[in-house]
Amino acid sequence: MITTIKEVAEKAGVSISTVSKVLKNYSNISEETRQKVLKAVKELNYVPNSTASNLSSKNKDKVALYIYINDMKQAVDEINMLYLQGAFAMANINHLELVTIFNQMVSDMSTQELTSYLASQGITGIIVYGLNKEDKKILQLIEEQHFHVCVIDAPIVNDKTSSVMIDHQKGQYDVAKSIIEPEYTRKVLYLAGKRNGYVTDMRIEGIMKLQKELGFELNVQYAEFSEKMAYDLTMRYASDVDTVVCASDLMAIGALNALIKMNIYRKCCGFDGITLMRYAGKGMLTCKQDFYDISGNAIKEMERLLSGKKGQKVIIDHQIISIRYEDSYK
């Protein structure tokens, strides 16, 4: 059923080396031979066996997209799918072999074991996201520099590691600034993400920068990116503040529902720009990330790393959008 290079060679009346050379566009092949081989390839519908070719040529790169699944499904599915699609689309264009690894699959491995596992799979580069500062295993992997790594959403760069993300600090600053009216704002409740998250800290910097500029009082509470926690914290602290700034859309939805429940009006904004906002976050502002583009860029950046260039920081644009009240069915 499967055609091998040998059969192509026989059909074309040449050696297998010649066939391989034609397919890899080597120079020293006469046009006549080229045509003969190409004809045979077409007729037999030959596609090189990727396993054999990977084994043979040591230099072929394979990249893994490390997919981080946690318990916060609802918001994260869309983001994960966008990362997946963006990465696969770009990898496809660039003829880069991309595979997925789920965190559960490798959760019980040590760094050492993970390294061996990746190497055994022929993986030379890995794209990670959702990293936090306690993720020792991955951080050590990055530290050791045995693999090329592209980190989404963490400012980690070394010779073999690049960082791709929006400017989270500026994003948080921008969206908060858009809803805060300096003259009427005395106190702001900021619902931050997970403690020790890189993203969490960058966004906190953003709101703090704005605080310094505008001089309001700031109450920072860690809500772990959880809708429920955001709801509870809003219940507890919102009556005391003018504005609730949330580090994620899901938290903003929780906060909004708490505000509705308490029957008080407060300005409120989210972060990410997920589709759920169209259903449950109407009227709010958010900082939209283009996740598809981010992971596409991560692949591009990976290509750069794999070509031997040193790691760098890549910043993707963000966008402040408002979730319109108007009828969504127009």
Partner DNA sequence: ATCATCTTAGAAAACGTTTTCATAGTATTT
Partner DNA sequence: AAATACTATGAAAACGTTTTCTAAGATGAT
Query: Under the rule (CB under 8 A), what is the footprint of a second copy?
Result: 1-3, 45-52, 54-55, 69, 73-74, 77-78, 80-81, 84-85, 88-89, 92, 99-100, 102, 104-105, 112-113, 115-117, 119-122, 146, 227-228, 231-232, 253-254, 257-258, 261, 275-276, 278-280, 327-329
Among residues 35, 42, 43, 56, which is the contact residue for DNA, using CB under 7 A? 56
Q: Which is nearer to DNA, 20 or 85 (CB)?
A: 20
Query: CA 119 from chain center: how many Å?
Result: 22
Q: What is the size of the binding site for DNA (CB under 7 A)? A: 32
Min separation Cβ 94 and DNA, Å: 17
Q: Which is nearer to DNA, 32 or 183 (CB)?
A: 32
Neighbouring CB atoms inside 10 A of 70's CB total: 10
* Residue 278 neighbours by CB under 8 Å, 6+ apart: 323, 328
Give the per-residue contact string, 108-147, with DNA (x = CB under 7 A; - = no).
Answer: ------------x---------------------------
Min separation Cβ 148 and a second copy, Å: 13
Cβ proximity of 199 and 171 under 8 Å: no
The per-residue DSSP string of 238-256 comes to: GGG-SEEEESSHHHHHHHH
User: Exposed, middle or buried, 189 (CB in 10 Å: 0-12/13-18/19+)?
Assistant: buried
C-alpha distances in Å from residue 84, one per residue of 99, 128, 217: 10, 12, 40
Q: Which is nearer to a second copy, 15 or 92 (CB)?
A: 92
44 belongs to the binding site for DNA (CB under 7 A): no
C-alpha distances in Å from residue 281, one per residue of 47, 82, 131, 151, 248: 50, 20, 27, 29, 11
Smallest CA-to-CA distance from 99 within 84, 86, 78 is with: 84
Residue 145, binding choice from DNA, a second copy, none, Cβ under 5 to 8 Å by partner class: none
Q: Which is nearer to DNA, 20 or 219 (CB)?
A: 20
Among residues 4, 178, 185, 221, which is the contact residue for DNA, using CB under 7 A? 4
The per-residue DSSP string of 107-142 comes to: TT--HHHHHHHHHHTT--EEEE-S-BTT-HHHHHHH
User: Exposed, middle or buried, 55 (CB in 10 Å: 0-12/13-18/19+)?
Assistant: exposed
Tokens linked to 204 = 């906190």
Among residues 10, 38, 49, 72, which is the contact residue for DNA, using CB under 7 A? 49
Q: Which is nearer to a second copy, 64 or 202 (CB)?
A: 64
17 belongs to the binding site for DNA (CB under 7 A): yes
Among residues 33, 219, 319, 322, which is the contact residue for DNA, using CB under 7 A? 33
Residue 28, binding choice from a second copy, DNA, none, Cβ under 5 to 8 Å by partner class: DNA
The helix, strand and coil proportions of the chain, stated in percent and rounded to the nearest 5, come to 50, 20, 30
Binding residues for DNA, rule: CB under 7 A, are 2-6, 13-18, 20-21, 23-24, 27-30, 32-33, 46, 48-49, 52-53, 55-59, 120
